[in-house]
Amino acid sequence: MRLSQAFKLAWQCIIGSKMRSFLTMLGMIIGVASVITLLGLMQGVTNYMIDTFSDLGTNSLTVTVNNTDTRKIDVDDVYRFTEENSTLFEGVSPSVAGRYTVKNGTTSASTTVTGVGEDYFSLNGKDLAWGRSVTYADIKNRSNICVLGTYLVDELYAGIINAGDTIRIDGQIFTIVGVIEEQADSMEGSSDDGIYIPYSVACRLAKNANISSYTFIAKDSDHVDAAETALDNYLYGIMKDEDLYSIMNMAALLDIINQMTSMMSGVLGGIAGISLLVAGIGIMNIMLVSVVERTKEIGIRKSLGAKRRDIMWQFVIEAASISMLGGLIGILIGSLATTTLGSLFGIEAAPTSSSILLAFCVSAAIGIGFGYAPANKAARLNPIDALRSE
């Protein structure tokens, strides 16, 4: 008997008792759908987290220094160090962050004000939607100018900035010279919610003469580790104490996030996988009942010359067909559920092709694996006893 015949036969059996076939499939449908949904959502969450961190720059190294009276990092030395190591570093920008209340007339908001160097915007991939960025002259002259994120433009200026508009930061008047292009849908707390001013001005605002934080950008992702080592040596040379400074490597952080989420995916997938196992047992159960019910049929087929192999194939293919059909329906439902739930949670989630492939292969394997025992039982039936049964 050919394989196509076995599939045809299996299809007739599935169609012949729709309700029963559906109930048998149900376990597989639920199992596959939950595997696909969980893995898809988990992937969506991972992507979301990676995106968020990538905004901060995967090639960036953030250095935090605790300056003391005797040992401190001078900003000009940092610039010199970066230039000397231009094979490793794209550039550097000091960053002096603080949270202040900002006001336009009577409307006010609380936001992060970051003091930056002139290269900050290009290094961090922030383009200007309007105006100009912070210049070297602004830093030298300690000019009260600022560049705004789009969230604040929307909140305080109803979306429109005119040349010469000013803003009060902690009571001091700043002239708005530029607006950064929208990066995260102008959401509160996102990278669009912030103000950038010259770092020299920020130091004055913070009443602190020393700069405690620098953002270094490595030449490319291959140089991140070398840059980190060079930086570490340089800082240790000045501070002589590892506890007085720290270097945060965004790429390493991203790796950790990736590891954690893939571990989570594994755990969730495993839990959902148990339901696939249960589904397989359900199929085996029904197939065993089916073999008993169809003993007479098996006897007739054997009396007409069906070999063990033929009967075996018939039942294995039937179990596999039920299982795979359930798997396909499960993939469909799972895909729908993933995108629906994803948009409900506000993340972009789509079923991953690997999870679809995995689910399909697992459902086929379960069908064949759990179909084997009943099929073997059917194949071994004695034709005489089978013919005599009613």
Partner 1 sequence: MKNRNRVEDTYSGPLIQLIDIHKVYYMGTSEIYANNGIDLSINEGEFVAIIGKSGSGKSTIMNIIGALDVPTSGQYILKGKDVSKMNDNELATIRNQMIGFIFQQYNLLPKERLINNVSLPLLYSGIGSAERHERAMAALEKVGIADKYRNFPNQMSGGQQQRGAVARALITNPSLILADEPTGALDSRTSEELLTFLKQLNEEGNTIVLITHDRSVAERANRIVSIQDGKITFDGNVEEYRRQVAG
Smaller CB distance to partner 1: residue 15 or 256? 15
108 binds partner 1 (CB under 8 A): no
Instruction: In whole angstroms, give the CA distance from residue 47 to residue 299.
Output: 57
- How many residues make up the chain in this entry? 390
Contacts of 171 (CB under 8 A, 6+ apart): none
Least distance from partner 1 to the Cβ atom of residue 323, Å: 21
Given the rule CB under 8 A, which of 113-121, 183-191, 300-308, 361-369 is the region that contacts partner 1?
300-308
Tokens at 292, concatenated: 């008993």
Among residues 305, 344, 346, 353, which is the contact residue for partner 1, using CB under 8 A? 305
Least distance from partner 1 to the Cβ atom of residue 10, Å: 13
Instruction: In whole angstroms, give the CA distance from residue 28 to residue 332.
Output: 12
Q: What is the CA radius of gyration of the chain?
A: 33
Smaller CB distance to partner 1: residue 300 or 332? 300
Given the rule CB under 8 A, which of 8-16, 149-157, 279-287, 348-356 is the region that contacts partner 1?
8-16
160 binds partner 1 (CB under 8 A): no
Smaller CB distance to partner 1: residue 103 or 308? 308
Taking residue 266's Cβ as centre, other Cβ atoms within 10 Å add up to 13
Smaller CB distance to partner 1: residue 17 or 259? 17
Least distance from partner 1 to the Cβ atom of residue 285, Å: 22
Instruction: In whole angstroms, give the CA distance from residue 39 to residue 43.
Output: 6
Residue 115 · residue 202 · CB < 8 Å: yes
1 binds partner 1 (CB under 8 A): yes
Smaller CB distance to partner 1: residue 6 or 205? 6
18 binds partner 1 (CB under 8 A): no
226 binds partner 1 (CB under 8 A): no
Least distance from partner 1 to the Cβ atom of residue 303, Å: 6
Residue 294 · residue 345 · CB < 8 Å: no
Smaller CB distance to partner 1: residue 21 or 215? 21
Q: Give the per-residue SS3 of the chain.
A: CCHHHHHHHHHHHHHHCHHHHHHHHHHHHHHHHHHHHHHHHHHHHHHHHHHHHHHCCCCEEEEEECCCCCCCCCHHHHHHHHHHCCCCEEEEEEEEEEEEEEEECCEEEEEEEEEECCCHHHHCCCCEEEECCCCHHHHHHCCCEEEECHHHHHHHHCCCCCCCCEEEECCEEEEEEEEECCCCCCCCCCCCCEEEEEHHHHHHHCCCCCCCEEEEEECCHHHHHHHHHHHHHHHHHHHCCHHHEEEEEHHHHHHHHHHHHHHHHHHHHHHHHHHHHHHHHHHHHHHHHHHHHCHHHHHHHHHCCCCHHHHHHHHHHHHHHHHHHHHHHHHHHHHHHHHHHHHHHCCCCCCCHHHHHHHHHHHHHHHHHHHHHHHHHHHCCCHHHHHHCC
Given the rule CB under 8 A, which of 98-106, 151-159, 301-309, 344-352 is the region that contacts partner 1?
301-309
Among residues 252, 308, 358, 369, which is the contact residue for partner 1, using CB under 8 A? 308
Smaller CB distance to partner 1: residue 164 or 305? 305
Among residues 297, 332, 347, 372, which is the contact residue for partner 1, using CB under 8 A? 297
Least distance from partner 1 to the Cβ atom of residue 6, Å: 10
Least distance from partner 1 to the Cβ atom of residue 328, Å: 24
Among residues 50, 300, 341, 365, which is the contact residue for partner 1, using CB under 8 A? 300
10 binds partner 1 (CB under 8 A): no
Encoded one letter per residue, x for contact with partner 1 by CB under 8 A and - for no contact, window 309-348 reads xx--------------------------------------
Smaller CB distance to partner 1: residue 170 or 310? 310
Smaller CB distance to partner 1: residue 126 or 301? 301
Among residues 88, 145, 180, 306, which is the contact residue for partner 1, using CB under 8 A? 306
2 binds partner 1 (CB under 8 A): yes
383 binds partner 1 (CB under 8 A): yes
Site residues (CB under 8 A) for partner 1? 1-2, 5, 12-13, 16, 296-297, 299-310, 383-384, 387
